[in-house]
């Protein structure tokens, strides 16, 4: 969204038109809406803004639920925004630490500030981009004076005026639509400045889950977070926001349930052992936090192969930190033999999972020419130079 479109939208007429348009889910619906609104005499800027927002509100439902229908977005801002359920969990940590006034530096469209404000904290929300700051101000307006939005760079904010800070440095090129990732030296604010501030002020720092672990502050708590099987972020907590004795954490959220694994440091893996009755795939947050060994010991399991994040064992155990599969049998690993074996077993619906092998599951599924009423999971991996194809069933 450009400034001219936002200016046209932020009027009583524009907002009423947006609410009346409702959600737009397909390209055909968008084209029809453009034709209808232009025929009614609305300006090109207003039509573009309304149709764009109507589409983004639909996409935003996954992150913001019912709140999405009363919010504004940019495409880039929505992609980078924290899910409201996760933002609420972050906010609880600030509240439980006894803080009442928090600065959200790099607030984007206001997702994390929403979580903070909803718990009664005062928020100073700071955003460098003018359009995004205006959208954040609209999204946070229901909180009145409890939240103040500033159009400024994070480096310009007077951080001693607050109890703690939340930092979400921009890790992509500027823009409201298509953006690309940039290196840490080009982040806004720069990573060095972010970590320096976090040494002096209690802070939560949102980073990508693949952030270089060698750059993590040694005294901080690093918490990797996954939601419904997707590892979405790493949060670095400093000073009094970091839990005593915790330097590695994996928070696994599935639906409304959350489970967390914590440790003082990376944990040692269990030794490799032969294939057992069960194979366990650790959640991505557990893998990123390097806490696979702790999970393996709880499951009485070991590594299936060195350097590959599959566990195996004979104990009929599972946990929220893994997906567990009961092995039916080992099948041929070549496409021709695998296809024949699956047809003989009547497998027509096949989930394909792989680690340590160069396989495109979508391409492989086509080559297998599946047929039949049966269903199963195919685990593809390797032990040394030997490829494994394991037919298995998911364990609840």
Domain CATH number, residue 186: 3.40.50.150
Judge if 85 and 118 occupy the same domain: yes
Same domain, 102 and 250: yes
Is residue 15 assigned to a domain?
A: yes
Q: What tokens were used for 223?
A: 């918490």
Model confidence band, residue 174 (pLDDT cutoffs 50, 70, 90): low
All residues at 6 or more sequence positions from 357 whose CB lies less than 8 Å from its CB, including other chains: 380, 381, 382, 387
pLDDT digits (tens, 9 = 90+) for 44-54: 999 999 999 99
CA 362 and chain centroid, separation: 23
Classify each residue of 349-366 as buried b or exposed e, where b means 16 or more C-beta atoms within 10 Å of its C-beta. ebebbbbbeebeeeebee
As a whole number of angstroms, the distance between CA 325 and CA 352 comes to: 12
Structural domain includes residue 103: yes
Q: Are residues 249 and 373 in the same domain?
A: no
* Cβ–Cβ under 8 Å, residues 108 and 209: no
| 8 and 89 belong to one structural domain | no
Summarize the confidence of residues 174-190 as an average pLDDT.
70
Q: Is residue 361 part of a domain?
A: yes
Q: What DSSP string runs through 177-235?
A: S---B--GGG-BS-HHHHHHHHHHS-EEEEE-TT--GGGS-TTSEEEEEEETTEEEEEE
Q: How confident is the model at residue 1 (pLDDT cuts 50, 70, 90)?
A: confident
Note whether 253 and 165 are same-domain residues: yes
C-alpha 308/C-alpha 272 separation (Å) is 10
pLDDT of 178 higher than 70: no
The band of 188, judged by pLDDT with boundaries at 50, 70 and 90, is confident
Length reported for the chain: 396
Q: What does the pLDDT read at residue 121?
A: 97
Hunting for tokens 């194979």 — which residue is that? 279
Residue 35 domain flag: yes
Give me the mean pLDDT over the 150-156 stretch. 93
Q: Pick from 263, 288, 311: which residue ends a domain?
A: 263
Give the domain extent around 126.
78-263
Give how many domains the chain has, as a whole number.
Answer: 3
Closest CA to 331 of 377, 288, 388: 388
Q: Where among 195, 230, 263 does a domain terminate?
A: 263
pTM here?
Answer: 0.91
**Residue at a domain's end among 47, 73, 99:** 73
Question: What would the two tokens of residue 69 be?
Answer: 């229908």
Residue 258 belongs to some domain of the structure: yes
pLDDT at 313: 98
Listed range (175-179, 251-255, 258-262, 289-293) with the worst mean pLDDT: 175-179
Contact 253, 286 (CB under 8 A): no
| Residue 326 shares a structural domain with residue 199 | no
Average pLDDT value for the chain? 94
Q: What is the CA radius of gyration of the chain?
A: 24
Same domain for 252 and 361? no
Query: Are residues 29 and 153 part of one domain?
Result: no
Q: Could you tell me if residue 331 is inside a domain?
A: yes
Q: Do 54 and 122 share a domain, yes or no?
A: no
Confidence of residue 159 (pLDDT cuts 50, 70, 90): confident
303 domain-assigned = yes
Give domain status of residue 273, yes or no: no
Q: What is the pLDDT of residue 176?
A: 56
């Amino acid at each position: 969204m450009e400034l001219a479109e936002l200016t046209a939208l932020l009027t009583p007429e524009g907002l009423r038109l947006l609410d009346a348009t409702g959600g737009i889910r397909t390209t055909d619906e968008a084209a029809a809406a453009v034709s209808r609104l232009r025929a009614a005499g609305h300006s090109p800027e207003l039509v573009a803004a309304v149709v764009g927002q109507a589409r983004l509100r639909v996409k935003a439902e996954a992150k913001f639920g019912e709140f999405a229908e009363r919010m504004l977005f940019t495409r880039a801002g929505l992609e980078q925004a924290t899910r409201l359920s996760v933002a609420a969990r972050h906010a609880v940590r600030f509240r439980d630490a006894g803080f009442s006034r928090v600065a959200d530096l790099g607030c984007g469209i206001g997702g994390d500030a929403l979580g903070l404000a909803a718990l009664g904290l005062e928020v100073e929300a700071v955003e460098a981009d003018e359009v995004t700051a205006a959208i954040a101000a609209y999204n946070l307006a229901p909180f009145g004076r409890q939240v103040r939005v500033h159009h400024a760079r994070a480096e310009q904010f007077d951080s001693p005026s607050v109890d703690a800070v939340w930092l979400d440095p921009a890790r992509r090129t500027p823009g409201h639509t298509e953006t690309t990732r940039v290196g840490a030296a080009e982040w806004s604010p720069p990573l060095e400045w972010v970590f320096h501030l976090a040494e002096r002020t209690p802070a939560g720092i949102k980073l990508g889950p693949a952030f270089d672990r060698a750059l993590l502050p040694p005294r901080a708590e690093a918490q990797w977070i996954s939601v419904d099987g997707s590892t979405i972020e790493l949060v670095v907590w400093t000073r009094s926001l970091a839990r005593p004795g915790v330097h590695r954490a994996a928070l696994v959220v599935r639906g409304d349930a959350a489970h967390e694994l914590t440790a003082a440091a990376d944990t040692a893996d269990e030794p490799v052992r032969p294939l057992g009755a069960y194979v366990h795939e650790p959640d991505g947050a557990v893998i990123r936090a390097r806490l696979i060994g702790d999970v393996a010991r709880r499951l009485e399991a070991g590594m299936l192969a060195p350097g590959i994040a599959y566990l195996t064992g004979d104990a009929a155990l599972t946990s929220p930190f893994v997906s567990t599969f009961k092995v039916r049998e080992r099948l041929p690993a070549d496409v021709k033999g695998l296809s024949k074996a699956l047809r003989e077993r009547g497998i027509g619906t096949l989930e394909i999972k792989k680690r340590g092998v160069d396989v495109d599951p979508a391409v492989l599924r086509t080559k297998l020419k599946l047929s039949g009423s049966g269903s199963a999971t195919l685990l593809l991996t390797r032990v040394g130079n030997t490829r494994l194809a394991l037919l298995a069933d998911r364990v609840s």
